[in-house]
Amino acid sequence: MGQSAYAIETRNLTKSFKSVVALNDVSVRLESGIMHGVIGPEGAGKTTLLRVMLGLLRPSSGEVAYEQDKTTVSFEDLRDSVAYMPQQQSLYPDLSIDEHLEFFKELYGIDKHTYKTKRDELLQITRLASFTDRLAGQLSGGMYKKLGLMCALLRSPNIVLLDEPTNGVDPISRREFWDLLYHLADQKILIILTTSYMDEAERCGFVHLLERGTLVAEGEPRKLLQEAHVNSFDELFLQKGAS
């Protein structure tokens, strides 16, 4: 039997915080096998969208629907298949990389054989195998992000939500992190990531552009640029803001 296909769909999603409208009538569909990028500047509503999808926030109106193999399911049915990497990760500065992995092994109830296989795979693709004794508080920004991703991936999720995963890391670490994301994409899982780096939009398979809580465009990156007759997503956002 092949791997299940998953999808998350928001329908006329609105979320307000008193007088601030964080999401304004947002309808998107996100499916397995595609790296979805939610692109927008700070304050666009990206984090709020992820948190509503995860049930951490209740929408003011609209709804979120979840599918497995084209059958509607509840979020509870999917919970164990979902991994979330928040922008501000809560790792323990006085625990090593190995101690973090052991902690999450126990947290997720992963058996020893599965854990060893997954641990070795993750350490190899993150290039952290030589640093397992290093404390999280002593890691560089890029290594810290990689550790957070490893902890999220340890239980082999089918849906991965990443909030600003490359924010604040150096260019080399950003490139290495994207190599990790492409490795995930090859596994045909549902990947949803947010970023305010406009150059990263073109690395995604499908993008959803948010501006002040409103979905202003979506589609395949290159096609969007061609249709708008612009050369970059910075130009595209300027165009959409002026329209």
Structure confidence by residue, pLDDT tens digits, 140-176: 888 888 898 889 888 888 999 999 988 877 888 788 8
pLDDT at res. 1: 38
Helices and strands (DSSP H and E) totals, the chain: 8, 10
Residue with tokens 């309808």: 27
What is the DSSP pairing of strand 190-195 with strand 35-39? parallel
Q: What mean pLDDT, rounded, does the chain reach?
A: 90
CATH of domain 6-242: 3.40.50.300
Domain spans in the chain, listed from the N-terminal domain onward: 6-242
What is the DSSP pairing of strand 206-211 with strand 190-195? unpaired
For every residue of 166-195, DSSP letters joined together read TTT--HHHHHHHHHHHHHHHTTT-EEEEEE
The H or E element spanning position 221 is helix 221-228
pLDDT tens-digit series, residues 31-80: 998 899 999 999 999 999 999 999 999 999 999 999 999 999 999 999 88
pLDDT at res. 142: 84
